[in-house]
Amino acid sequence: MAAASHRLVRILFVCHGNICRSPMAEFVLKDMAHKRGIEDVLQIESAATTNDEIGNPVHPGTVKRLAREGISCAGKHARRITKDDYDAFDVIIGMDEENMRHMMRAWDHDPQHKVHMMMEFAGESRDVADPWFTGDFEATYDDIHDGCVGLLGWLGL
């Protein structure tokens, strides 16, 4: 998918609770876009597939790992995907197979082929490491960084 210089590309990252992986991806990509001077062509958000963390701030482990890169996610609070999100976004990226199943149910599959796994942009066929279970925010950051670099290339940015 190539992004025309005047066309806004709307990207939604999705994970289980929207406190670890998807907000990390949201803010890593926002930072990359800012550094490349392309933030005006990208609208980047994140959401959850469940109600588990709705309204909660980003997980302290994600906040700490992003801070090491000089990235702030202040003010971000978890929200759940809605039926309208499918039409509102051009590219929707799940962090794992479970997220993909939840999104397919929420949106009655993917008729416009907008939904992708994050690691496909890094040339891999696997889930993003989940720090909720592993506590390893470094591995998650590495996965997300590689996926975001690949996504920008896929978008032609």
Phi, psi of 43 (to 5 degrees): -110, 120
Domain total for the chain?
1
| 21 in catalytic set | yes
Catalytic residue, from 20, 21, 31, 127: name it: 21
Q: Is 73 a catalytic residue?
A: no
List the domain range (segments joined by +) for residue 79: 9-154
Q: Is residue 138 part of a domain?
A: yes
Catalytic residue among 85, 96, 127, 130: 130
Quickly list DSSP for 81-105.
Answer: --TTHHHH-SEEEESSHHHHHHHHH
Does the residue 1 lie in any domain?
A: no
Q: How far apart, in whole angstroms, are the C-alpha atoms of residue 105 and residue 81?
A: 12
User: Does the annotation count 15 as an active-site position?
Assistant: yes
pLDDT band at 7 (very low <50, low <70, confident <90, very high): confident
Please give the angle made by the CA atoms of 91, 94 and 90, to the nearest 5 degrees: 10
| Within-domain flag for 29 | yes
> Is residue 3 situated within a structural domain?
no
The answer to whether residue 95 is domain-embedded is: yes
CA distance 89 to 71: 24
Q: Which whole number is the average pLDDT over 3-25?
A: 89
- Please state the pTM of the whole predicted model: 0.95
The model's pLDDT over 137-155, given as tens digits with 9 standing for 90+, comes to 999 999 999 999 999 999 9
Residue-wise pLDDT for 56-89, tens only, equals 999 999 999 999 999 999 999 999 999 999 999 9
For residue 2, tell me if it sits in a domain.
Answer: no
Residue 107: both structure tokens together: 């949106």
CATH number of the domain within which 45 lies: 3.40.50.2300
Residues paired with residue 127 on neighbouring β-strands, in sequence order: none
Give 1's pLDDT tier (boundaries 50, 70, 90).
Answer: low
Considering the candidates 15, 20, 73, 148, report the single residue annotated as catalytic.
15
